[in-house]
């Protein structure tokens, strides 16, 4: 953020229910969380926004570009397939996705993970270049039962995200950049995801791979990700 803030106004958003954001019982589908971000941008009087999202936030970034194309100068979608778009079905049986089905069972994950957040989330952070203090920060983002419910509800909303995205077939001229870590299970899907987005009406889709990164591309290769953001956010600043 300090590097990017030298030339951009940079806002880091805690999605609904996570970290410093209020948890609600419902509302965790990507389209609704995109509205949360849009309302925040409106309150801050931000215009012509470049949106960057990783994983679930990448899905929110896509929903934002679909719902608010006139507000969005571009969107970067990092290391995630897009529900309802080509490539989504192919990843469903991948063993790396075991946790998705677990978290989608209503109420179960909350009961099993509460009090074991460091063990559960620490398993995933093991696949990225996190410092102990960073791990502590992110584990704390899911400290309460309400926060746990929020993140699990995001996964339970994936079918709703797929339905929303599959219905978005109109022309959309927002420039999209879709990338994954070269060691990510999603890397092989990037060309298929891009083609699916084009088939669904997205006219400006570029892709890439982030070298020597797995899933947590920001932690694995922060300078390379910052390079991409500087390049594409500046490219579409006019």
Q: Which two tokens stand for residue 8?
A: 């951009």
Q: Which two tokens stand for residue 9?
A: 């106004």
DSSP tally for the chain: helices H, then strands E = 12, 4
Helix (H, G, I), strand (E, B) or coil at 138: helix
Domains, the chain, ordered by start: 4-91+161-235 (3.40.50.1820)
Q: What is the pTM of this model?
A: 0.96
- Summarize pLDDT for 63-115 with one digit per residue, the tens: 999 999 999 999 999 999 999 999 999 998 889 899 999 999 999 999 999 99
Looking at residue 214, the DSSP 8-state letter turns out to be -
Per-residue 3-state assignment (H helix, E strand, C coil) for 121-143 = HHHHHCCCCCCHHHHHHHHHCCC
| DSSP per-residue letters across 146-193 | HHHHHHHHHHHTHHHHHHHHHH--S-B---EEEEEETTSTTGGGHHHH
- Summarize pLDDT for 145-192 with one digit per residue, the tens: 999 999 999 999 999 999 999 999 999 999 999 999 999 999 999 999
Judge contact between 230 and 7, C-beta under 8 A.
Answer: yes
């Amino acid at each position: 953020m300090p590097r990017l803030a030298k030339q951009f106004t940079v806002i880091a958003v805690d999605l609904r229910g996570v970290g410093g954001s209020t948890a609600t019982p419902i509302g965790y589908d990507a389209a609704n969380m995109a509205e949360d971000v849009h309302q925040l941008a409106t309150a801050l009087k931000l215009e012509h926004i470049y949106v960057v999202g990783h994983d679930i936030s990448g899905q929110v970034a896509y929903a934002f570009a679909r719902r608010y194309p006139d507000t969005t100068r571009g969107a970067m979608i990092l290391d995630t397939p897009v529900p309802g778009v080509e490539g989504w079905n192919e990843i469903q049986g991948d063993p790396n996705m075991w946790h998705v089905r677990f978290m989608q069972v209503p109420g179960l994950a909350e009961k099993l993970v509460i009090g074991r957040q460091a063990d559960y989330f620490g398993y995933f952070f093991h696949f990225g270049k996190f410092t102990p203090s960073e791990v502590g920060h992110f584990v704390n983002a899911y400290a309460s039962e309400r926060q746990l419910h929020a993140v699990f509800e995001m996964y339970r909303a994936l079918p709703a995200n797929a339905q929303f995205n599959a219905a978005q077939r109109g022309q959309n001229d927002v420039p999209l950049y879709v990338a994954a870590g070269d060691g990510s299970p999603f890397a092989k899907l990037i060309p298929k995801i891009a083609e699916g987005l084009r088939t669904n009406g997205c006219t400006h889709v570029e892709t890439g791979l982030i070298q020597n990164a797995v899933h947590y591309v920001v932690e694995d290769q922060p300078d390379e990700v910052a390079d991409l953001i500087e390049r594409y956010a500046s490219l579409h600043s006019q």
